[in-house]
Structure 1
Amino acid sequence: MITIKEVAELANVSQSTVSRALNGHKSVKEKNRVKVFDAIEKLGYQPNAFAQALASNKSHSIGMLVGTFDGPYFGPLMHHVEKVVRQKNYHLIITSGHENYDEEQESIHFLNAKKIDGLVLTSDMMSDADILQIVEKTPATMLMNRYIPEISDQCICMDNEWGGYIATEYLIKNGHTRIGCVTGQLSKIDSRERLQGYRNALEKYGIEYDQNLVVEGRFDHDGNDKAVRRLMDRDSGITGIFCLNDSIALAAYGVCHDRGMTVGEDISIVGFDNHTYSQYMTPSLTTIHFPLEDMACEAARGVLNMLEGKPLANINTRLFPTLMERGSVKTLETAPVTPA
């Protein structure tokens, strides 16, 4: 293994000069800098990344905390964040909190031990105060899919409430008034916001909110078939179901098939997220497009801007979902419902 001592000997400079040259110190004379890097090229020397981080106080790495490595949500987020930061010669270090408070805290400690320069953060478990403490320690932090007023310009948020509204309104405009709703975990803010959008649409069109038509499911696949069955057993008059993500909608398709019901004919379903598989379901799923790529790229650019001393004014911190109309909603031949 080539050492810094060997580089210094070949370049005929001191070891401290090699170290300063590697870390970009302006005090190194240009002729010595050239000698150092010529020697490095000849020897094939690879500087120790951790030693460089200690010397320069920069690791050229960015940390990312996600809720889980499973499922179709976090994968694209990680992919697009990594793609953006690599363009600026940063490496992404990713860890998961497994949707557990203690593990999220442990993950943050792990990333800090790696001397990360910046952080892309998602968290449902930590409090606002916890996150503000993290930002105090690592100022170049961007928070995804959550809003904290004190760091508003560092929060990339999607308007989940609007997404819930337009999903429910679409069912209403197609003649549906008995609309069930299967949520994600109500401990998650995006689930609560999407549910509020559902309620807002019902209120707008003068349809009374019925808590019996709302069942809590999960954003993963665990137990959503049971949640859909509970909902359908409660009220046989339901003609439409708003599923708060596409995984729940997939479970709803399965339950309907088991009960001899045809989606898009006997019952209408709207999902949320527009995962890739949603367009290949039969019938293709009407769903709300969640701009995952935009969220990831804006968060990554925000961290890079802060590290480069640039303003965040050009970062789009508020993203809006859109409706993807496909084949899973039937238009009922009923009197049109108008806003109250």
Structure 2
Amino acid sequence: MATIYEVSKLAGVSLATVSRVMNNNTPVREATRLKVLAAMEELGYRPNSIAQSLASNRSNSIGILVSELYGPFYGAMISSIEAEFRAAGKHVIIAAGHSEESTEQDGIEFLINRSCDALILHVEAVSDDYLIKLSQSDTPIVLINRQIPAIQSQCISLNNKLGGYLASRLLLEKGHRQLAYISGPLWKTDAKERYRGHQLALQEYGLQPDERLFFEGDFHESGGSDGVAQFLQQGLHFTGLICGNDEMASGAMTEARECGLDIPGDLSIVGYDNVMLSHYTYPKLSTIDYPIAAMGQMAARWVLKHIYQQDKLDVQLVFEPKVIERDSCISLAPTLG
């Protein structure tokens, strides 16, 4: 079996240079890197990952904890993180927290015990105090969709209050005044902030929220369909509906059509996230763009920059939502006096 010494001899470089190429943690001239890789291939040399870890004190693996493993939202996030690390020669270990405090803590402990060099966390149930304390441990962390002032430099976040405001303003600008709202679980910060944005938009137009036209959903398709069913069973009139995410908006659209409503003729609907399914609903869903893939990429770059010393990488911490207008909402005809 070939050794690192034989690789360095064939490539005509030092052992340190071979090590830098294998660990991919220090810049090496491209011509030199190619010589080392060619020598490794010619000799059939495969680096011993355990030996590499002992030599560099790094496992070259990063732990990712997300709320769920299914659905387009989390799929886009995980894919972008993994792709960024794969390009840098790193590997990921993934666990799910299921938005439960004990499960999130168990997942974090599992990843730490796997000697991950850093953790990327999309967590909702553990407290800010827990995460602040965790940030002081030996394993660095970076948070997605969480804003904690005490560790702000480790948070990749979206302005969800602005997103909620933009979603409601889209319908208000089109003349809608009877607005219904289906939120995610309000114990979740992002759901609460989006609803606050909705309230701010109503206030700007001199309107008060109608409690009868509010439904607390679950961020799943069933939450959207249940909300619309409740509104219609109560005989409530509304021309516009804002949903806390695209999945609930999809359920709402299905329920509305099954109840005989035309979209957008009878009911205009706006979602939130801009996940892939928003392109394939009928009609295509107007929504708020949540750049979760870019945020996942930035979390990976944060780790590469701060843990693996890839200093030239730029990292964006705060993202702004934007309106994506499609076919699910229309302007109301002005009422004749």
TM-score between both structures, scaled by the size of structure 1? 0.83
1:92-241 equivalences in 2 (<5 Å): 92-138=92-138, 140-241=140-241
Q: Contact (CA 8 Å) 2:273, 2:290: kept in 1 or not? A: yes
Q: Would the alpha carbon gap of residues 245 and 67 (structure 1) be closer, same or farther in structure 2, given more than 3 Å must change?
A: same
Aligned to 1:84: 84
Q: Residue 170 of structure 1: CA displacement? A: 0.9
Aligned to 1:275: 275
Q: Contact (CA 8 Å) 2:228, 2:256: kept in 1 or not? A: no
Structure 2 unaligned blocks of 5 or more: 8-14, 21-36
| Structure 1 runs, 4 residues or longer, greater than 3 Å off | 6-11, 19-24, 37-48, 308-314
- Paired residue type of 1:197: G
What CA distance in whole angstroms lies between the structure 2 residues aligned with 1:100 and 1:50? 34
Larger radius of gyration: 1
- Paired residue type of 1:103: T
- Paired residue type of 1:224: G
Q: Residue 66 of structure 1: CA displacement? A: 0.5
Q: Residue 284 of structure 1: CA displacement? A: 1.1
Q: Contact (CA 8 Å) 2:221, 2:249: kept in 1 or not? A: no
- Paired residue type of 1:244: G
- Paired residue type of 2:297: C
Q: What value does the CA root-mean-square deviation take over the aligned residues?
A: 2.9
- Paired residue type of 1:109: E
Q: Would the alpha carbon gap of residues 312 and 190 (structure 1) be closer, same or farther in structure 2, given more than 3 Å must change?
A: farther
Q: Contact (CA 8 Å) 2:224, 2:243: kept in 1 or not? A: no
Q: Contact (CA 8 Å) 1:184, 1:245: kept in 2 or not? A: yes
- Paired residue type of 1:301: R
Instruction: Select between 52-61 and 63-72 the one with higher mean Cα deviation.
Output: 52-61
Q: Contact (CA 8 Å) 2:64, 2:93: kept in 1 or not? A: yes
SS in 2 for 1:209: coil
Aligned to 1:286: 286
Q: Residue 245 of structure 1: CA displacement? A: 0.6
Aligned to 1:266: 266
Q: Residue 212 of structure 1: CA displacement? A: 1.8
Q: How many residues align?
A: 314
What CA distance in whole angstroms lies between the structure 1 residues aligned with 2:217 and 2:50? 44
Per-residue CA distance 1:136-191 (angstroms, 9 max, x = gap): 22453211011011111111111111111011011111111110000111121111
Structure 1 unaligned blocks of 5 or more: 12-18, 25-36
SS in 1 for 2:221: coil
What CA distance in whole angstroms lies between the structure 2 residues aligned with 1:261 and 1:219? 22
Identity of aligned residues (%): 34
Per-residue CA distance 1:173-213 (angstroms, 9 max, x = gap): 11111100001111211111110110000001101122221
Q: Residue 52 of structure 1: CA displacement? A: 3.7
Q: Would the alpha carbon gap of residues 277 and 21 (structure 1) be closer, same or farther in structure 2, given more than 3 Å must change?
A: closer
Q: Residue 21 of structure 1: CA displacement? A: 10
What CA distance in whole angstroms lies between the structure 2 residues aligned with 1:7 and 1:270? 60
Q: Residue 228 of structure 1: CA displacement? A: 2.1
